[in-house]
Structure 1
């Protein structure tokens, strides 16, 4: 199972899972994405379900939606219970590995591993230990296309919303911004690339904010 929010890191991790000999023992069978019951959007990027469904279809994988209800600040109190229940269902089906697109945040990986261990699931981290330069270079060199859908307004201007990521944009990020946005500086949605049977055709809707983070609404053409 592939844990994803539809962005660049999970997409590149999935690419490695499918094409890198080091991960030949794994076969992705679906995408797992968290949604907010109150907004009907994905929790991290606030993307509509039909947009993520279009991406899943283009990747040839089933989309599994886990709906979270109990939001506390920027986290969800029911996350462990909902994810744990889903993992138990996976294990009953003989599925005991979950892929993540994490790169270098030790605390995030430790949290995932602790939750996984409680439910007899093992994490797979195709990008772990790479530098953010390596990740972005590989992603772009492979020909993937991704757009910025959210920014932390305390660190990046809303002018970045809707921009397609390329080397020039990354090289000119403000000082202190992680190239892969591992600290939540921005979030992306992957539109096209070598794994896609067709591009996800979107148009940009309204810009909005939750007070700290700024978003652009993606709509299918």
Structure 2
């Protein structure tokens, strides 16, 4: 099955949030408010993990349960071409249109090419793109995230930019202080990825434990992943 959902079609809200489980998506939901979002939308590899973050599907399910929103998983092949990705996402957007969804929100901060890509993918639909945290100063954004009471674990780091010791650490002031000067504090250029397990959008913290850190080849580079349970 290409996608799974527990969406309630009677929900009054008409916004879907593209969900990574990480800090920016969590803060975007905080800004939007859970009452204004119909469901969370994320992709998952057929091995049951996020292709970029390496997080298990069951942890996303626990996040959604604590947040109180349904989550839709779009399953992708482990070696997924861009054409296949776009085809599966187009099917989901077509279904959203039929349900009256008016916009999909994204937590991108400043990468113009990513925003343009998303806008192009929505151009043939009646669904608008929405960017609730767009163009925020990333130093201020990460401080706002922490000040709001969010807590997150770093689950993946770009091995060409950061040592594997950064993987598995909590995203806090000590982590930020240890980042090299050339690393964006929100990791917007893909330097690191996070899993949020507590904060104002959750009814209760998501219980997680860190496991081993492994290094995998990704494209022409390598990433260090910390397994979460």
Instruction: Name the stretch that deviates more: 147-156 or 116-125.
Output: 116-125
For residues 81 and 135 of structure 1, what CA distance do their matches in structure 2 show? 33
User: Cα–Cα, structure 1 residues 129 and 52, in superposed 2: closer, same or farther, change >3 Å?
Assistant: same
Q: Which residue of 2 aligns with 1:17?
A: 32
Give the Cα separation in 2 of the matches to 1:40 and 1:150.
Answer: 16
**How far apart in 2 are the matches of 1:133 and 1:143?**
16
Partner of 1:68: 76
In 2: Cα distance, 1:30 partner to 1:87 partner:
13
Where structure 1 has 5 or more consecutive residues not aligned to the other structure, the ranges are 20-25
What does residue 142 of structure 1 align with?
Answer: 148
Query: Matched residue of 1:210: which SS?
Result: strand
* SS in structure 1 at match of 2:104: strand
1:92 and 2:102 matched: no
**1:174 corresponds to:** 180
C-alpha distance in structure 1 between counterparts of 2:174 and 2:212, whole Å: 26
- Check whether the contact 1:70–1:78 (CA below 8 A) recurs between aligned residues: no
Give, in whole Å, the separation in 2 of the partners of 1:150 and 1:216. 6
TM-score (norm 2): 0.88
Q: Normalising to structure 1: TM-score of the pair?
A: 0.91
Mapped to 1, the partners of 2:95 and 2:150 lie a distance apart of 32
1:54 alignment partner in structure 2? 62
- CA distance in 2 between partners of 1:33 and 1:151 (Å): 20
Report the Cα distance in structure 1 between the residues aligned to 2:85 and 2:141, rounded to whole angstroms.
28
Question: In the alignment, is residue 7 of structure 1 matched against residue 16 of structure 2?
Answer: no
Aligned pair 1:215/2:221, yes or no? Answer: no
| In structure 1, C-alpha distance between the alignment counterparts of 2:82 and 2:117, rounded to whole Å | 14
For residues 78 and 174 of structure 2, the distance between their equivalents in structure 1, rounded to whole angstroms, comes to 40
Deviation of 1:43 after TM superposition, in Å, equals: 1.8
Alignment counterpart, residue 116 of structure 1, candidates 103, 118, 122? 122
SS at match of 1:67: strand
* DSSP 3-state at the match of 1:149: strand
In structure 1, C-alpha distance between the alignment counterparts of 2:178 and 2:211, rounded to whole Å: 26
- Structure 2 unaligned blocks of 5 or more: 1-15
Cα displacement (A) at 1:70: 6.4
Tell me which stretches of 4 or more aligned residues in structure 1 moved more than 6 Å.
none
Instruction: Determine the C-alpha separation between the residues in 1 that align with 2:78 and 2:88.
Output: 11
> 1:146, CA displacement in angstroms?
0.6
Rounded Cα–Cα distance in structure 1 between residues aligned with 2:48 and 2:201: 27
Q: Map 1:181-220 onto structure 2 (within 5 A).
A: 181-211=187-217, 212-219=222-229
Whether the aligned pair in 1 keeps the contact of 2:51 and 2:78 (CA below 8 Å) is: no
